[in-house]
Amino acid sequence: MSDPDRPRGRARAAAVLGVGALGLALTITAGATLLPPAQPRSTAGTVSGPVVLAEAPASASGLAQAVNGLQARLKRLPRDHQAWASLGAAYVQQARITADPSYYVKADEALDRAAALAPMDFAVLTGQAALAAGRHEFTKAVRLARRAVAANPYGSAAYGVLTDAHTQLGDYPEAAEAVERMMELKPGVASFTRASYDAELRGDTTAARELLEAALRDAFTPEDVAYCRYYLGELALRAGDLERADQMYDAALRSTPDFVPALAGRARAAALGGRLDEAATGYAAVVARLPLAQYIVEYGEVLTSLGRDPGDQWALLRAQKQLMAANGVRDDLTWAEFEADHGSPGAAVRHAEAEYARNPNMVAADALAWALHKAGRSRDALPYARKATARGWHNALSIYHRGMIEKALGTSSSRSFSQVKLYNPRFSPKLPALARFS
């Protein structure tokens, strides 16, 4: 109790302890620094509610806004089947604009909800038809669209799906009939662009251009404006007018600066104009943004023309094929065309036959003809080449293919080759993918 040493000892102890605590704290802090920071465990904190937008009808604003409005409405009214159907159709449209296939899954689910509430409703059937067409299930799309038409004979959108699906199935007269009816019911960008394609497939490029110009006058959203300008560019490009094509692509980019098809169009025009380096740079940017098979093949062909190795692009393409196989998707057309031009003709024939069996349209006929020719079966190819060119479509690539087949068979090919020159004086057989109509 009276130990004189004790206070001193205690002070010393406290000092040593203080230093010890400091050191310990430092050591532990250092340890914590080296380890990854812990995840926040609590969700308490700012709870931000969803941003509720004014509910505007789909017609008044862009697609994204329409989707927002529909989502807000459906959170309030989950039993509004028309809203579910509109949301499904809007997701299909978004998949088309963004090339993001995950929207198809969402569209499917939304349309399932709509169908559970009202299976025979025309809006539900139209949405389901549009989704089927988006997924390349054209026979199913026709079936659903017909039911939608029966439910609402004045609904223009169902005729739009009918037009698309018939075109892909090679039923051109039915497609023309459907688009005519669509234009009756609702003149505007949706029907004019389809009528333009119909005219183009008949070889009436003047009507095709005029209808696209009418569609452009009618287009309201920037995306639709860009779409019309882009296809005006494509029409010019396929006719060899690269300058006008460039102007149109630029115009498309003015209305929608990140419109990838127009960026690809510019690269295409550069390549066909002989500016291959510029084209390669352009395609590199396009593929970095949106690695669609079509862009990858075009890029690969430009690289080949430049004497560079397209191996990376072909690897990317094969990866796409693996992914699609894993997703249960068949894309025989792309592979038929690719294998015929750059790979194995035997594989090309298999793909082309599969594609033609499903969708016997002119593009598939051309792919099959070219694959058979490349596989040394030019005689078998000729009927398909004729079919691909019979309706007068100004498709220089198909006619070039026909000419090559005729030449191989020793029959007269001069008419075909002169048509190629006539339709597209800038056609380059070295860049076949760039001449493909899409």
Q: Which of 289, 342, 407, 421 binds another protein (CB under 8 A)?
A: 289
Q: Which of 2, 307, 326, 410 binds another protein (CB under 8 A)?
A: 326
**Closest Cα partner for 317 from 305, 301, 281, 15?**
301
In the region spanning residues 47 to 76, those forming contacts with another protein, defined by CB under 8 A, are 47-48, 51, 54-64, 66-68, 71, 74-76
| Residue with Cβ nearer another protein (146 or 377) | 146
Q: Which of 104, 249, 370, 400 binds another protein (CB under 8 A)?
A: 104
Segment interacting with another protein, rule: CB under 8 A, options 30-38, 268-276, 391-399, 408-416: 30-38
Q: Decide if 352 contacts 340 (C-beta within 8 A).
A: yes
| Residue with Cβ nearer another protein (51 or 173) | 51
Amino acid residing at 69: G
Distance CA 253, CA 213 (A): 17
| Alpha-carbon torsion, ordered 184, 188, 193, 199, to 10 deg | 40
Please, what is the minimum distance in Å from the beta carbon of residue 356 to another protein? 13
| Residue with Cβ nearer another protein (148 or 349) | 148
- 428 touches another protein (CB under 8 A): no
- 362 touches another protein (CB under 8 A): no
In the region spanning residues 254 to 283, those forming contacts with another protein, defined by CB under 8 A, are 258
Count of C-beta atoms within a 10 Å radius of residue 295 = 22
Token representation of residue 309: 């190795």
Q: List CB contacts of 112: < 8 A, sequence separation 6 or more.
A: none
| Residue with Cβ nearer another protein (58 or 347) | 58
Question: What's the count of helices (H) and strands (E) in the chain, helices before strands?
Answer: 22, 0
**Closest Cα partner for 123 from 58, 55, 193?**
58
Q: Which of 7, 173, 307, 328 binds another protein (CB under 8 A)?
A: 328
Please, what is the minimum distance in Å from the beta carbon of residue 33 to another protein? 5
State how far Cα 143 lies from the chain centre.
23
Q: Decide if 190 contacts 164 (C-beta within 8 A).
A: no
Q: If 0-12 CB within 10 Å is exposed, 13-18 middle and 19+ buried, where does residue 228 land? A: buried
- 395 touches another protein (CB under 8 A): no
Segment interacting with another protein, rule: CB under 8 A, options 318-326, 375-383, 387-395, 405-413: 318-326
- 340 touches another protein (CB under 8 A): no
Q: Which string of x and - marks every residue 123-162 that binds another protein (by CB under 8 A)? A: x------x--xxxxx-------------xxxxxxx--xx-
In the region spanning residues 162 to 221, those forming contacts with another protein, defined by CB under 8 A, are 164, 168, 183-191, 193-195, 197, 210-211, 214, 217-221
| Ordered DSSP codes for 387-403 | HHHTT----HHHHHHHH
| Residue with Cβ nearer another protein (292 or 405) | 292
Q: Which residues of 386-403 are buried (b: 16+ CB within 10 A; e: fewer)?
A: ebbbeeebbbbbbbbbbb
| Residue with Cβ nearer another protein (294 or 428) | 294
Q: Decide if 88 contacts 61 (C-beta within 8 A).
A: no
- 354 touches another protein (CB under 8 A): no
